[in-house]
Structures are given as C-alpha cells and as structure tokens.
Structure 1
Amino acid sequence: MVSHVINHILWRFVLIIVIITLYTPNLSAAKQSKINGLKMNVIDRCWRLNPEWRRHRPQLATCSVGYTGKMTNNIGKDLIHYIVIDPSDDPINPKRGTLRYGASVIQGKVWITFQRDMHIKLERPLLISSFTAIDGRGVNVHIANNACLMIFKATNIIIHGIRVHHCKPQAPGVVMGPEGKVIPLGHVDGDAIRLVTASKIWIDHNTLYNCQDGLLDVTRGSTDVTISNNWFRDQDKVMLLGHDDGYVRDQNMKVTVVYNHFGPNCNQRMPRIRHGYAHVANNLYLGWVQYAIGGSMGPSLKSEANLFIAPTIGSKEVTWRKSNHNNGDTWEFHSVKDAFENGASFTVTKGGRVPKPNYSNEQYFKVVDVNFVRSLTRSSGILGCSKTSVC
C-alpha cells in the first residue's frame, strides 16, 4: 500500500514536469540574444551576441567608442594572426611564440591571441608596437609580479581581456623597442599600463590591481584614448591623465572613461587629470578614501551619469582640486545626471560652461541613464567566456 502511494506521487510529479515543459514557451535564440543585449552596454552588444566571435575576433575592432573612434586601422587583409604559446620572456632576444615577439618584433597589423591559460612574468617592460591588438578572450592570462605594459611612441593599439597586477618598478636598462630594435629605457615606475606619447589607444575589459605605483597612466602628449569596461580594484593611485604640472603638451589630451568599475579598496585618482579633457561617463564608483576625481593645471572634465557610492568611513566628497596660485581656479569640473549614494557629493565649477566631448560620428555613443549603470558595468573586467560559445 505504501509503495503504491509513493508511485502515485512520483507519477503525478513527473506529469506536472511534462506539462510545464510542454506549455512553457521556449525563448528563441534571437529573443534570448535580445534580452542579453539589453543588459549589455553598446561596446559589448557589438560583439558578444555573436556566438561565432572566436572565428571573427577582429570584429572587436569595430566596437570601440569614445576618443579612439573605431579601431579599423588594426584590421584588414594584411592582418597577421599570432598565437602566444610560450609564457617565457627574453627582453632583448625574444623567442618566436612569446608575447614579446608578437608585440615588439613583428611589424604591421598584428592580432595576438593565447593558446591556453598563462602566467607571464615579464623580465622588462613590454613595449607594444603600433597596430597591435592583444586579445586575451577565452583564456585566463596574467601579466604579473614584475615588469608590465608600456605603449611608447606608438598608435592604434588594443589591449583586451588581460589581468595585470603586482607590477614592480624597473631600473634603467635595454629592451626590445616597439620597432623591433633594442633601445635604452630609463627608470620605469610600477604601473600596470603606461602610455607615453601614444595615440588612438583602446584599453577594454581588463582587470587591473595591486601595482606598486598606478594602474593606468596616460602621459607625455598621449591622446585619443578610450578606457572602457575595466575593473580597477585594490589600489592607492588608480588612473593618471597628464604627465606633470609642467608638461603643457598634455593640454591636447582627450580621454574617454566609460563603463568601468572602480573598487573596492581604491584610494584616489579615478582619474586625476592635468591640463587636458576627460569625458567620464556611466562608471560605477564603489567607494574611495581621499577622492574619486581630482585635477590640477586647468583641466576640463565632464562627469556624466556615473554612480558614486561614498565610503562608510572617509571623505564623502567625490572631487579634489590642487590649488595653483599662478594658474588660478581655471579647471572645469561638471557633474551632469550623476547619482550619489551613501552621502556622496560633487563640488562643481560654478558659473562655467559644461565642456562637451565634441565627438565625431564614429566616436559618439549615447550616455545611458544612471539607473542602468550597475547593469552596464556588471561585466567589467575579465569576461568569463565559456569554452563553447558564450562570452
């Protein structure tokens, strides 16, 4: 009798499951893609919805926005596909198959991918040649525990999908340069990624943390840079835009900072800007200690639809300005449609104009309502791409 009752219950349970399966409408692949797309920002929608993205990796170059414009100079029939198979590093005579060989020795349009998961310990800073894309999608690549990345007098470079952390200062020495020639290199601070006299650079979907100096420096006349979809965490000095107060060439610097996640455990410089212009939009700020956005030497900054969540303990003020008696208070910090939580506040420039980014058609993107920032930045940093198709 007991077994009969149990069998009857089991059959009823199976019947309910069958009914639910038969009468619950299945989402088509197109509808599911549309739903996923609504949760993505405009950069990610451009390529992540394509299940064949592995076969069409250079499609990524058409997805950038902001001051880099589209990175279509990095692709074409003459594109060289290079696979890193060896995590070792020789800074003067790099072996074929290593990252340095692909990034510094090979000239022309190079798209670099990785055969497998890797931990790369660079013996000296990696100087990346113009028209190079470093694409870590689909594998787990760490550049860590010694020297890190430098873009020196180069242009049209993509860095995507890499973990860069625990970077250390480097003494002067020689290294393979971006033109495939050995050059002398002076002292290098422990930055994750440093730009020196570089232009048209796109830094997207990287995870950067715990470096001895900063995470990302844009210096010495570098311009036309987009910093997007990155996760910056566990760092004192996060992002520096502008070399120093006396380097006036940085007046021409233009940088877009969009869809990034700052925090936890970030102290300052998200970013700190000198001289030039930055459009900071749709980023998530998960606390700070000293300040989130700072500047000196008359910079212009438009903060638009960012979510600033103040720390429980510490400064609630988002901004910081370095006084300069010779320069006066000529900087322009403007907050437009930002949101502030946990007591956060933003001291804006009074009576000034709101500086516009003045994007071209290929640079333009629509800034999304701040209520969607949590969703748009949920995938910031390294993407968890499966081994089948989803990324």
Structure 2
Amino acid sequence: MAPIYMNTMTKHFALALIILNLLALYSIPSSGNSSEELRGLRLNTIDSCWRRNPQWRRNRPQLATCSVGFAGKMSSGNAGRGLRRYVVTDPSDDNPLSPKPGTLRYGATMVKGKVWITFQRDMRITLQKPLLISSSTAIDGRGVSVHVAGNACLVVLQASNVIIHGLHIHHCRAQGPSRVMGPEGKVVSMGQADGDAIRLVGARKVWIDHNTLYQCQDGLLDVTRGSTDVTISNNWFRDQDKVMLLGHDDGYSMDKNMKVTVVYNHFGPNCNQRMPRIRHGYAHVANNLFRGWTQYAIGGSMSPSVKSEANIFIAPKSGNKEVTWRMDTVGNKNSWKFYSVGDVFENGATFTGTGFRGANPNYNPQQNFKVANAKFVRSLTSSAGVLRCTKRSKC
C-alpha cells in the first residue's frame, strides 16, 4: 500500500503546483502595459498610484503625485511645505461677494497659498454665482458625496496648479454679468457665463480627475483663451449635447499653444458631440471609452492636431458611424493632423484620418505614461466618475 500512497501524494503535490502557477500568472502585473493588475483587478496608471494605499485619507496630498499627461505632476504646486488644509462645513453660498468661513467659496478664494479643500459630510452646493478657483488649490471630494448643481458652476480664471477631483457637477445654468469674490480675495467682474460645468479661461497646469458631469445648459468642460497643460482623466461625461470644447473660437489664435490630455474617461450614454471638439491646439485622446454619439465623437476646426490612441469607439445602432468631424475654415486640409493608432472600432464605427502621422505628444518625464492596449479600456475606465469610497478607506 505504501507505493500507492506515495504516488497519490505526488500527484496532489504536482496539481497544487500547477494551481499556484496559474494563480501567479493571473495576479502578476503585465510588464507590457501601463496599468496594474492585482488578483484580476486592473487599475490604470493614475489610480494605481494612490487607490492601493489604505491610508489615503491620512495622506490626501499624495494624489498630487499621481497625475500624468500635459498637467504633469501637481506635487510642487499643490502639496508639500506650506500646504493649508480647509474643510467645507457649510453648503450655503449666500453672499458671493463676501463668502462665509466654512463655505466652498471661502476656501477657494479667501485662503491664500496652497490649500487642500475637503468636505465634512455629504452635501449639495447651489452656487449663486460662478465660483472662481485660486491658484494652488485642490478640491478633493473623496469619501463623501458632493454635488455642485442647480445654478452656477466652476471657473478657473488665469490660475495655475488647480486640481478638481471627486465632484458631481450637473444642471449648471447660464449666468448674467456679475461681480464675485475671486482668487486671492479680490473682487472680479464677470461677463456672461454660458452654463458650463467647468470652464478654464487663461489657465495653466490644471488636472480634472474622477468627476461625474452631466445635463448642463451649455457644455460640460471648456478649455479656452490660452489655457494649456491640462489633463482630463477618469471622468464620466453623460447625458449632454455639447460635451467638451478645447479652444475658444476660430479667431483666437493664442490657442495654438494649447495642449490637453484626455485619458481614461467614459463618454456616454446619451452624448451628442464634442468628445472633444478642438480648435487650433493639440489633444492626445487615449484609453477612453466612447459609448455612441449622434453627430460625432472627435471633431474640430482651424487645423488642430489630434492623436487618438487605443480608445474604444462604439458607434450608435443607427445614424452616423463616423467618429470624426471637420470644419475646414482655412481651406488647407493638408494642414490637419488628425489620426488614429491602436483604436478599436465596434458596431461599424469608422475613423477618417487626415494629414501625416506625426501628431505625437512629446511628453517630458513628469508627463509621460504608457498607453495601454485598447483591449483593456473597459477595465481601465470601469471606475470613471466619482468613486464610492467606503468607511474602511477603500476607494
């Protein structure tokens, strides 16, 4: 009986080794992709930087080291020495010219220097007038449910080093000319506001990450009037006609210097156009999920440069299957650089390229990231939008 017993044990041991090897195969991160894989859970390169840390609540400014793309790392302007922490305890916005301590407007305009803004509890904030955000400000909604909704919304006006993370922003309405408290505690005269969720005007080095934006009167996100070095990542854009505008208008030539990275976002359902629409400048659109469109997904005018890389485009069941749209306002189609590399097209989607294949982002080391294969995009964008963080600090 002894030989039979030893043979059985040997088989069991060999089977155990095979199982362990298979488990290891599926749990070790793939060295060929920019995302991380841990026990079957894939995180994109931004999320893997901080979401695996169970102590993120105690070290919120770690987030500033995790950005990629044209915004680069935000740590020098939004973390480190001199950082002040501010907690929003009051959801009111009774006096936009003289904000109360404890309100979001007070933290975003009256606190000087680097400020990291968090929220005491779940809240809905109805802004009476547009909220202007100071330089070196991070608005961090992780761990609670914060809605900025129902009236005016957010503006980054000639500011830099701004992070907007973890907010629901929706049902924003147009606003007439007004005076509001602005950056550094200075009163600013505002012109007409069209009703965008977030508008950048002459802003630099801005990171917009893990927000949920929908149903605004005009658009969800505008990058205009010389704004540049912007990263738009991990957001969920849905239920909107005009989604994202990059470049003020055809006559604003300063937007030729605009550089924007659009990565790991989820577009749809029920988005019509501008995902994004680009004028003059450059956009790197990578590893995004597009769930249909009515008019088009990516379009532009004034000969912008666009590299569409490793996205998934799911065309609508009926109607326009073409991803791109162009308005040739300069009469020189050869000046366009509009091309696709590594994209996946589903349900009959097509992409018409224009110009030579040379629209590369040329990132510096602080901006650079490795674009993942498009087959991983559904996983990499599966937690786009506001994260649901548990009391045990898991996001």
TM-score (norm 2): 0.90
| Residue 136 to residue 78, structure 1, CA distance change in 2 (3 Å) | same
Paired residue for 1:185? 190
Paired residue for 1:59? 62
2:205 to 200, 204, 223: 200
> C-alpha displacement at 1:36, in angstroms?
5.7
Amino acid across the alignment from 2:277? R
Aligned-residue sequence identity (percent) comes to 69
How do 1:159-238 and structure 2 match up within 5 A?
159-238=164-243
Instruction: Provide the C-alpha distance between the structure 2 equivalents of 1:31 and 1:263, rounded to a whole number of angstroms.
Output: 32
1:354 to 353, 358, 377: 358
Quick check: 1:311 aligned with 2:316?
yes
> C-alpha displacement at 1:329, in angstroms?
4.6
Paired residue for 2:110? 105
Amino acid across the alignment from 2:257? N
Instruction: Provide the C-alpha distance between the structure 1 equivalents of 2:292 and 2:140, rounded to a whole number of angstroms.
Output: 30
Instruction: Provide the C-alpha distance between the structure 2 equivalents of 1:270 and 1:349, rounded to a whole number of angstroms.
Output: 18
Paired residues of 2:333 and 2:354 also in contact (CA < 8 A): no
Instruction: Provide the C-alpha distance between the structure 2 equivalents of 1:297 and 1:305, rounded to a whole number of angstroms.
Output: 25
- Taking only aligned residues, the RMSD between alpha carbons, in angstroms, comes to 1.8
Paired residue for 1:379? 383
Amino acid across the alignment from 2:96? P
Paired residues of 1:134 and 1:160 also in contact (CA < 8 A): yes
Moved over 4 A (4+): 30-34, 325-329
Paired residue for 2:86? 82
> C-alpha displacement at 1:77, in angstroms?
2.2
Deviations 1:156-205 (A, max 9, x none): 00000000000000000100011211121110110000000000000000
Instruction: Provide the C-alpha distance between the structure 1 equivalents of 2:37 and 2:365, rounded to a whole number of angstroms.
Output: 25
Paired residues of 1:112 and 1:132 also in contact (CA < 8 A): yes
Paired residue for 1:49? 52
* Gap regions ≥5 residues in structure 1: 1-23
How do 1:253-264 and structure 2 match up within 5 A?
253-264=258-269
Paired residue for 2:247? 242
Deviations 1:204-255 (A, max 9, x none): 0000000000000000000000000000000000000000000000000000
Amino acid across the alignment from 2:149? A
SS in 2 for 1:55: coil
How do 1:114-133 and structure 2 match up within 5 A?
114-133=119-138
2:338 to 313, 326, 333: 333
| Residue 152 to residue 348, structure 1, CA distance change in 2 (3 Å) | same
Instruction: Provide the C-alpha distance between the structure 1 equivalents of 2:84 and 2:40, rounded to a whole number of angstroms.
Output: 31
Paired residue for 2:163? 158
Amino acid across the alignment from 1:60? L
| Residue 206 to residue 36, structure 1, CA distance change in 2 (3 Å) | farther
Quick check: 1:135 aligned with 2:140?
yes
Instruction: Provide the C-alpha distance between the structure 1 equivalents of 2:39 and 2:229, rounded to a whole number of angstroms.
Output: 30
TM-score (norm 1): 0.91
Paired residue for 2:16? none
Paired residue for 1:301? 306
Instruction: Provide the C-alpha distance between the structure 1 equivalents of 2:198 and 2:239, rounded to a whole number of angstroms.
Output: 16
Amino acid across the alignment from 2:69? G
SS in 1 for 2:199: strand
Instruction: Provide the C-alpha distance between the structure 1 equivalents of 2:254 and 2:84, rounded to a whole number of angstroms.
Output: 34
SS in 1 for 2:60: helix
Aligned residues: 365
Paired residues of 2:334 and 2:354 also in contact (CA < 8 A): no
Paired residue for 1:11? none
